[in-house]
Amino acid sequence: MSKIKAPLNWLEKNCKQIFDSIPVLSYAWKKIENDFILIKHNKTAQDYGLNGIEIHEGLKASELYAEIPEIFSDLLICASQKKEFAKEVKLKQKATSQQGIYHCYYNFISPDIVLLHVNTEIPNYQFNSEKQAKKSGIIKFKKEDNSLLHNVNKFEKLLNEAPDIIFNVDCEGKILFINRVPEGYDIKKVIGSNCLNYLHPKYRDKGKRKLQEVFNKGESDVYEALALGGQGELFWVSIRLGAIKDDDDIVVSVLLILRDISEKKQAEDKLRESEEIFRTLTEQSFLGIIIIQDNLIKYVNKKAAKMFGLNIDEIMNWPPGELLKVIHPDDKKFVVEQLNKKQSGESDATTQYQFRGIKNSGEIIFLEVFSKTINYEGKPADFVTLLDITERIYFEKIIKDSELALRKRVKELSCLYDLSRIIDQQNESINEFMGHLVSLLPTAFQFPEKTCVRINLGHKEYKSIDFKQTDWKINSREKINGDIMEIEAYYKEDNQFMEEEIALLREISSRVKIFIEKRRTEEKLRSEKKFTEDLINTTSDTIFVFDPEKGKAIRWNKAFK
């Protein structure tokens, strides 16, 4: 039997190629009682499967996920509740033997199919769509010879040797001649019987109508129907009808060519089932899918259109190069270079990268691209899958900014703590304190190794090691007991101080002012105390302090002794 696939549009013919090219592990499970049977899987699942188990059609889900019962349980939930959902699961890749947390997406297709997509990072993933296209290439119909056989006797030998069943009927459908019959029929009994009796009852009215149309119009026709076999079995046939005319161009009988197309119909049914799965995959996929050739959009799914705030018709009507308007200007050069390489079939193109896109509203989005050259209608094209990572980038920035803010805060607190510790050292002079301070202050800034400090107090100057005066400076001034104190911080290279660093320097300057004022007051008190004691001890008068409660002197000078 000839194996012929009906020519459909490109997407329907090649949805398997798309299915195999997506860098996501994809499985189609059919529910059988309390288990699932694998009826389809893509090449990615074959090459980068889970747990080291070989993937093949007919595999049971209970076997594949024996060590991952959570997935098997989720398949049952998806099938019973008939809904779609996503979960994170810990899985082990066959290709890398590494475990990780991956996103599993479950989609239900009525009546009993569950699509499972596992989003994972695949190392050095390579598309193989050209080879796949050759494997699943479409066999075109051969042009049928529509010439009719005007002289049955002349071609009797040819008819008897033909692989098809060929018979001649009159206007009532009575079989006048037949070259052979299916197994189980007696050719002698078949000749003279009505040809419509060998069709399934639901197709007999159609067969009768087709026959009458050929007799009335004299034009050839063809249709498909279910026929009855000699053992009562049903099989699909293609029936071609051709008018046999006399010398006066009047139709005298009709020649019918019956071809068994059961295998073809089975292939078509299987193809339709596959197409339904693959079409559902592309339209329900969490990935945007675009095919670009000659800078024209050849295919786009709903997800990709939605990413840019557009609909499919708008994108499909773009003129060549219009795609560039949804690419951020700063990323356009690189993305265009990759698009051109893929459309030219160059081997050094980057298969995975990120870029910024622009939605129809003007909003900036971040996209991750998995891209590869495929063969589309005999020419190279760029097969692009898009993943919207805007939310991920947003949260990564929040985390990064939080970590940076935390590190800065730790530096500030550490500096203030060390400053408090130095201040608490009672025996340290102001000069010693200032020496420690110029060494401590650079550590409080975001780039300590690039920071230097100078402190001017009255006529004295204190500098950190490798001090260098530059244009990148912040400072804080305080007036202390008539003296001016100025603390200056410089970046040795081009850098801008942050507002938090300026505020920190002011806080440090304020604390240093309090310390110096306190220390100067303490030094003045100690000096005055010593002066008073010296004065008392040098006088010739007797001086003492008497405690009436104790009834005795508690302090006295040398003259008292």
7 pLDDT more than 80: no
Quick one: angle between helices 430-440 and 499-538, nearest 10? 170
Token match 């052979």: residue?
Answer: 180
- Domain formed by 398-537, architecture: 2-Layer Sandwich (3.30)
> 3-class DSSP state for residue 484?
strand
22 pLDDT more than 60: no
Q: Which CATH superfamily is domain 160-265 in?
A: PAS domain (3.30.450.20)
Q: How far is Cα 466 from Cα 458, in angstroms, rounded to an integer?
A: 22
Find the range with the poorest average confidence among 126-130, 412-416, 443-447: 126-130
Q: How far is Cα 336 from Cα 327, in angstroms, rounded to an integer?
A: 9
Domain ranges of the chain: 24-124, 160-265, 285-388, 398-537
Q: Tell me which fold the domain 24-124 belongs to.
A: Beta-Lactamase (3.30.450)
Nearest CA among 127, 143, 141 for reference residue 376? 127
What is the tens place of the pLDDT at every residue in 67-115?
889 999 999 999 999 888 888 887 766 556 667 777 787 888 888 988 8
23 pLDDT more than 60: no
Give the β-pairing of 379-388 and 288-293: antiparallel
Sign of CA dihedral 305, 309, 315, 318: negative
Average pLDDT over residues 424-453: 85
Find the range with the poorest average confidence among 17-21, 76-80, 151-155, 337-341: 151-155
Helices (H), ranges, 22-147: 43-47, 61-64, 69-81, 129-135
Q: How far is Cα 526 from Cα 426, in angstroms, rounded to an integer?
A: 13
323 pLDDT more than 80: yes
Q: How far is Cα 435 from Cα 438, in angstroms, rounded to an integer?
A: 6
Average pLDDT over residues 195-199: 96
pLDDT for the residue numbered 141:
29
pLDDT for the residue numbered 5:
33
Q: How far is Cα 187 from Cα 191, in angstroms, rounded to an integer?
A: 6
CATH class of 285-388: alpha beta
Sequence-separated (6 or more) residues with CB below 8 Å from residue 477? 484, 485, 486, 509
Q: How far is Cα 153 from Cα 354, in angstroms, rounded to an integer?
A: 73
